[in-house]
Amino acid sequence: MTGSRKNTLSGKSVLRLLDLTPEELQLVLETAQTQKAEWSLGIHDTPLSGAAIAIIMEKPSMRTRASFEVGAARLGAHPVVMSDSRSAFSRGETVQDTTLVLERFVDAIVIRTFEQQKVEEIAEWASIPVVNALTDMFHPCQGLADLLTIKEHKGDLAGLTLAYVGDGNNMAHTYLEGGALSGMRVRIATPADFACDEFVIEECEEVAALTGATIQVGTDPIWAVTDADVVITDTWTSMGDEEEHDMRVQAFQGFCVDAALMAHAKEDAVFLHCLPAHRGEEVTDEVMDGEQSLIYDEAENRLHAQKALLYLLMTKA
């Protein structure tokens, strides 16, 4: 299922895309493409038969939860979903105790939470793979699905221009990392007060120097999308920021992805949004529902990308 590439991901954790090498990123995408094609042909192997996967949600989720649960089931693994405030890491028990007990039952931990530090601590204690299903800093699984969607529609990622317009949030960080690993030209436009974290930019610039990617950040949406192959945005109000919603709507005026902004991108540019979207805020209905929009393919690819990732992390090299 991994083609000619060696599976160097066996047993590893993925807490951000920079946990992958450029080759490992391509391995995940190629495996996802193969598995997706095989599934549609009726080849329904269950390589993780007998395994169990904890899926822990400390923030709301629809896509991530459903796609991991179905992905685990399709691989033959049993998903153990914990999403209320009385389970897993939400009861005041130490991260050490919860992790060391949980891994007696399951073979991988998928977790969505607030602090990146928490998933790092879980991964330090765990002897099984840990997968970040979104933190305040990163959303690597969404990044994999998005890169898979771009690859399906545009072919090789290297050299493509990816423009992100909006908040310098977990998704912006993830596109910086995914673009750097894939040799893309990444342009990020945010309001000055909502820029990406400097340390993520610096780490991505180091990777870009090795892959041929370029990383540019600025504050002008038109600059970002001009001649872009891919235009992406995300909510201005991420989970946890809800009290700032009204202030943010004011601060992000001029950053809405509408048809006029899309007209600056290449004619065959595609539009992505991880969803959920706030239609009428960061993006218009016209763009969301327009011919360039791939949002539903992108959402479906959560399943295929994560299924490939779990398969690679949880099978022997």
Site of interaction with ligand CP (CB under 6 A): 61-64, 134, 142, 274-275
62 contact choice in ligand CP, ligand NVA, none (CB below 5 to 8 Å, kind-dependent): ligand CP
185 contact choice in ligand NVA, ligand CP, none (CB below 5 to 8 Å, kind-dependent): none
Site string for ligand NVA, 32-71 (x = CB under 6 A): ----------------------------------------
- Residue 24: alpha-carbon gap to chain centroid: 15
Of 6-14, 196-204, 232-240, 254-262, which segment contacts ligand NVA by CB under 6 A?
232-240
Q: Which residue's CB is nearer to ligand NVA, number 99 or number 235?
A: 235
Task: Give the whole-angstrom CA distance, residue 183 versus residue 287.
Answer: 27
Q: Which residue's CB is nearer to ligand CP, number 182 or number 238?
A: 238
Of residues 243-302, which lie at the interface with ligand NVA (CB under 6 A)? 274
Catalytic, 304? Answer no
Catalytic, 142? Answer yes
Confirm if 213 and 183 have CB atoms less than 8 A apart.
Answer: yes
Task: Give the whole-angstrom CA distance, residue 109 versus residue 137.
Answer: 18
Active-site entry in 65, 256, 274, 304: 274
Catalytic, 65? Answer no
Of residues 131-190, which lie at the interface with ligand NVA (CB under 6 A)? 134, 139, 169-171
Confirm if 316 and 10 have CB atoms less than 8 A apart.
Answer: yes
Q: 3-class SS at 227? A: coil
Catalytic, 112? Answer yes
Task: Give the whole-angstrom CA distance, residue 194 versus residue 275.
Answer: 19
Q: Which of 120, 97, 90, 122 is nearest to 109 (CA)?
A: 122
Q: 3-class SS at 190? A: coil
Q: Which of 260, 47, 292 is nearest to 149 (CA)?
A: 292
Question: Could you tell me the CA-to-CA distances from 30 to 3, 305, 314 in Å, in that order?
Answer: 8, 9, 17
Q: Which of 145, 158, 166 is nearest to 232 (CA)?
A: 166
155: enclosing H helix or E strand: none
Find the angle CA(300)-CA(22)-CA(72) to the nearest 5 degrees.
35
2 contact choice in ligand CP, ligand NVA, none (CB below 5 to 8 Å, kind-dependent): none
Catalytic, 197? Answer no
Q: Which of 278, 197, 221 is nearest to 245 (CA)?
A: 278
User: Where does residue 199 rank: exposed (0-12), middle (13-18), buried (19+ CB within 10 A)?
Assistant: exposed
Told to check if 119 binds ligand NVA by CB under 6 A, we report no
95 contact choice in ligand CP, ligand NVA, none (CB below 5 to 8 Å, kind-dependent): none
282 contact choice in ligand CP, ligand NVA, none (CB below 5 to 8 Å, kind-dependent): none
Active-site entry in 63, 65, 74, 139: 139
Q: Which residue's CB is nearer to ligand CP, number 53 or number 215?
A: 53
Q: Which residue's CB is nearer to ligand NVA, number 134 or number 230?
A: 134
Please report, as a single letter, which amino acid is at residue 112. R
Catalytic, 248? Answer no
Q: Which residue's CB is nearer to ligand CP, number 131 or number 134?
A: 134
222 contact choice in ligand CP, ligand NVA, none (CB below 5 to 8 Å, kind-dependent): none
Active site residues: 112, 139, 142, 234, 274, 302
List residues near ligand NVA by CB under 6 A: 134, 139, 169-171, 234-235, 238-239, 274
